[in-house]
Amino acid sequence: MNIKLVEKKISDIDADIKIEFISKDELSESEEAEILNSAGFKAEQDTTCFLYEKRVIFCGVDSKKSDDIRSAAAAMIKVLKSSNYTSAKVSAISKSSLGALVEGIVLGGYEFNEYKSEPKKATLENIFIAAQDIEFATLEPIFNEALIISNATCFTRDIVNRAPQEVNPQTLCSIAQKLSDDNSLECEILQEDGLAKEKMNAMLAVGRASIHGSALIHLSYKPANPKKIISLVGKGLTYDSGGLSLKPATSMVTMKMDKAGACAVLGMIKAVSELKLDIEVHAFIGAVENMVGGDAYKPDDVLVSRSKTTIEVRNTDAEGRLVLADVLDYAQDAVNADYIFDFATLTGACMIALGQYTTGLMGHSHKLKHDISRAGSDTGEMISSLPFNKHLKKLLKSEIADISNTASKPYGGAITAGLFLDKFIREENKKKWMHFDIAGTAYTETPWDCNVYGATGSGVRLMCGYLKNL
Ligand code: BES
Ligand code: ZN
Ligand code: ZN
């Protein structure tokens, strides 16, 4: 499906179907008010009414603001794709909502069909967006930007959605290598011998029972004279069985998504390099598989991490923080960044705390939290801050090592996981670091907003929005 911005009035565009966004207030003034009324269409947000004979799809919206347009466009595109028409047209409602319109169409129309023997054949070929009464030159860059970010989000979704027997840590390495070739990025990969030289024993322990070697991937995008340097760190558990602290059968299903942080970070650096932003971006990924076996790491093990901090393992299912401990430590040596952001499907507790629709944000800088929350409102990705405190920090105390990988009480589990990571952030970097727990938002089994079944690509739109405005 192609989506094109055209410098024409909507009436001058030749297409099978016209798309119209309409609010409750506008309903009575519509030319089709009578038919819409008799069809029982009330212009509720995310409802559609397809007038086949008139060749119009009406899409209900609460307002013409970005969040409502994005969500309504996502509902509309599914209806349109299930028809046999080949083209549709819609007018660019406003400069401020054009990006959301593109995102709604691309992300809401996303399908992952790689494993279907007979995927549904989509007939829809073209969607034209009419610049209408707004100057084309002001819309074009917004359109191109939204397309790059939406496609990067789909790139992330595609990797997360692939099955774990196919995407293992070594596959992640090949995917990163290909992205680096395609987008002229630098790529450095440490295989297990390299990890051992770096003394990344926490990360190595997690991957030891897997038949696939663990790897650290470092991609960099380096424009000339960058304004800022950013390090992005991603949890890349290509499968999380829980290890010897085995997950119950029903909780294990969907754990291919435990690589979503890594895949988000890949999507972000892809987008940033295509947007040609003048900031240097480094992506660090800990690619590991958490399995069981005779060689598996165990509850009671004490690991000496790269930073020399010793860690008592009390639960092998709290593996993401062990991998991130070493990758964060490595990243702080490799690059002197202005900001360090990590993305991880880290805790079920984050989902309990905030629900499935909101990413948990943790860190020490109020200003960073504020700026990132702003990017959240601008991009329509919901984020909420979870506050650190000294009492929760004490729950990570270990009797025999420097820190335990599991808090002694389950309450506040997302925050204690964030506080565990904090232990590996150096004093001079405390205010530069933010942790994003995307356990709830990275994957969904029930479609919502512009997210369809499976991976959502959460984090990509948010970070692109933040970095664009740096
Ligand atoms: N990958 C999981 C967290 C997760 C759970 C992500 C559900 C997405 C959906 C993580 O490695 C994990 O298992 N965390 C444990 C930590 C606990 C053992 C302290 C959890 O959340 O139960
Ligand atoms: Zn786990
Ligand atoms: Zn995990």
pLDDT reported for residue 121? 86
Which residues surround ligand 1 with Cβ inside 6 Å? 240, 258, 315, 317-320, 345-349, 406, 413, 439
**349 pLDDT tier (thresholds 50, 70, 90):** very high
Measuring CA to CA, which residue among 56, 156, 137, 154 is closest to residue 98? 137
Q: Is the pLDDT of residue 318 over 90?
A: yes
Q: End-to-end distance of the chain based on CA atoms, in angstroms? A: 32
Q: Is 232 helix (H, G, I), strand (E, B) or coil?
A: strand
pLDDT reported for residue 66? 98
Whether residue 321 lies in the annotated active site: yes
Residues 427 and 409: their CA atoms lie apart, in Å, by 26
H helices of 355-440, where?
366-379, 390-394, 413-422
Tell me phi and psi for residue 402, to 5 degrees.
-70, -30
Give residue 322's identity as a one-letter amino acid code.
Answer: L
Residue 405 Cα: closest atom of ligand 1: 19
Tell me phi and psi for residue 294, to 5 degrees.
-60, -25
Residue 257 Cα: closest atom of ligand 1: 8
Q: Which ligand is nearest to the CA of 237?
A: 3
Long-range contacts of 367-374 (CB under 8 A, 24+ apart): 368/339, 368/431, 368/432, 368/434, 369/434, 371/466, 372/434, 372/462, 372/466
Atom 7 of ligand 1: nearest residue by CA position: 348
**407 pLDDT tier (thresholds 50, 70, 90):** very high
At 116, list the tokens. 């279907």
H helices of 280-380, where?
320-334, 348-354, 366-379
**218 pLDDT tier (thresholds 50, 70, 90):** very high
Whether residue 120 lies in the annotated active site: no
pLDDT reported for residue 122? 86
Q: Which ligand is nearest to the CA of 254?
A: 1
130 burial (CB, 10 Å; 0-12 / 13-18 / 19+) is buried
Average pLDDT of span 175-204 = 98
What does the H/E/C string look like for 276-311?
CCCCEEEEEEEEEEECCCCCCCCCCCEEECCCCCEE
pTM for this prediction: 0.98
Measuring CA to CA, which residue among 219, 222, 270, 215 is closest to residue 238? 215
With a CB cutoff of 8 Å and minimum separation 6, the contacts of 451 are: 107, 444
Give the Cα-Cα-Cα angle 384, 385, 390 (nearest 5 degrees): 155
Catalytic one among 18, 70, 270, 321?
Answer: 321
Residues 439 and 453: their CA atoms lie apart, in Å, by 15
Calculate how far, in angstroms, residue 82's C-alpha sits from the geometric centre of ligand 3.
Answer: 36
Calculate how far, in angstroms, residue 252's C-alpha sits from the geometric centre of ligand 3.
Answer: 10
Q: Which ligand is nearest to the CA of 442?
A: 1
What does the mean pLDDT of the chain come to?
98
Q: What percent of the chain has pLDDT over 70?
A: 100
pLDDT digits (tens, 9 = 90+) for 255-296: 999 999 999 999 999 999 999 999 999 999 999 999 999 999
What does the H/E/C string look like for 93-126?
CCCCCHHHHHHHHHHHCCCCCCCCCCCCCCCCCE
Residue with tokens 């092998």: 316
Give residue 298's identity as a one-letter amino acid code.
Answer: K
Residue 417 Cα: closest atom of ligand 1: 19
pLDDT reported for residue 458? 98
Helix axes 460-468, 260-275, angle to 10 degrees: 40
